[in-house]
């Protein structure tokens, strides 16, 4: 596995930590003994996340709460997203405005890295009509991050599957036409490895399961980009 940052006691802020991908990110960070601040919206959502390494903070992600959320952290991994497909106001708030607020807070706190879990298809939202509104909003958030001056990694997973990870993963800078799929566990591993491998810095990548590529925690995961 790639090296960990156990000597670095600052935390990684995981936004959306109670979601399916967020929980996998928290577990992956803990497996590497990296301290976590897990943002959740309710006590019920966070009750199984707290541990020796993970501090759970119950808060909405807003301009007012973000300064406290980022304090004492060195990086953000955002897994925030919505499953609302038609309410444009909800989509814009969840997929763009909230991410923009997090980016601004990261700038103000001088964080070292912002890793954004987005979605495959943001380069051509019109190619997936049922998700187009969400993909357009995600694309706006991605551009805000690229323009922010922060060190960033943007990860576009294919269709997310709730299966065991540890499968081989393709990481490519070229948008996929097949869209593919990937487990949440392997997606989480890529998001965490983005913090640990400098080749990920200021890169935007598509990821999907593909035989012959190697595991998601391999050294040089982003080196070929």
Q: What is the CATH number of the domain that holds 25?
A: 3.40.50.720
Whether residue 194 is contained in a domain is answered as yes
User: Does residue 91 sit within a domain?
Assistant: yes
> What is the distance between the alpha carbons of residues 127 and 157, in angstroms, rounded to a whole number?
16
Q: Tell me whether strands 203-209 and 169-172 are parallel, antiparallel or unpaired.
A: antiparallel
Q: Tens digit of pLDDT for each residue in 16-48?
A: 999 999 999 999 999 999 999 999 999 999 989
Count each helix (H run) and each strand (E run) in the chain, helices first: 7, 10
Q: How many CB atoms lie within 10 A of CB 129?
A: 9
Cβ neighbour number for residue 67 with a 10 Å cutoff: 12
Judge whether 25 and 77 are in contact, CB under 8 Å: yes
Residue among 18, 78, 118, 119 flagged as catalytic? 119
pLDDT band at residue 6 using 50, 70 and 90 as cut-offs: very low
The answer to whether position 84 is within a domain reads yes
User: Does 221 reside within a domain?
Assistant: no
Task: Report the largest interatomic distance among the alpha carbons of the chain, rounded to a whole angstrom.
Answer: 46
**Domain interval for residue 132:** 11-209
Residue 178 reports pLDDT greater than 90: no
pLDDT digits (tens, 9 = 90+) for 215-224: 999 999 998 8
Does a structural domain hold residue 217? no
Residue 70 lies in a domain: yes
What is the bridge-based pairing of β-strands 203-209 and 152-157? Answer: parallel
Q: Is 119 a catalytic residue?
A: yes
Residue 159 in domain:
yes
The structural domain count of the chain equals 1
Is 219 among the domain residues? no
Q: What is the pLDDT of residues 69-110, one digit of tens each?
A: 999 999 999 999 988 888 999 999 999 999 999 999 999 999
């Amino acid at each position: 596995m790639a090296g960990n940052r156990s000597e670095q006691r600052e935390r990684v802020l995981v936004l959306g930590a109670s979601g399916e991908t967020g929980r996998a990110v928290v577990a992956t960070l803990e497996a590497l003994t990296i301290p976590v601040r897990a943002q959740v919206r309710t006590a019920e959502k966070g009750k199984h996340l707290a541990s020796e390494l993970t501090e759970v903070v119950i808060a909405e992600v807003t301009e007012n709460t973000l300064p406290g959320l980022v304090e004492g952290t060195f990086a953000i991994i955002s897994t925030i997203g919505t499953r609302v497909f038609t309410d444009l106001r909800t989509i814009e708030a969840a997929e763009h405005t909230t991410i923009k607020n997090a980016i601004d807070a990261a700038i103000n706190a001088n964080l070292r890295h912002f890793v954004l879990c987005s979605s495959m298809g943001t380069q051509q939202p019109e190619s997936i009509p049922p998700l187009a509104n969400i993909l357009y909003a995600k694309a706006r958030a991605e551009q805000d991050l690229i323009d922010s001056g922060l060190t960033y990694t943007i990860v576009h997973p294919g269709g997310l599957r709730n299966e065991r990870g540890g499968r081989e993963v393709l990481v490519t800078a070229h948008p996929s036409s097949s869209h593919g799929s990937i487990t949440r566990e392997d997606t989480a591993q890529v998001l965490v490895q983005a913090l640990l491998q400098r080749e990920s810095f200021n890169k935007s990548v598509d990821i999907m399961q593909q035989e012959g590529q190697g595991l998601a925690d391999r050294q040089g995961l982003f080196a070929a980009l």
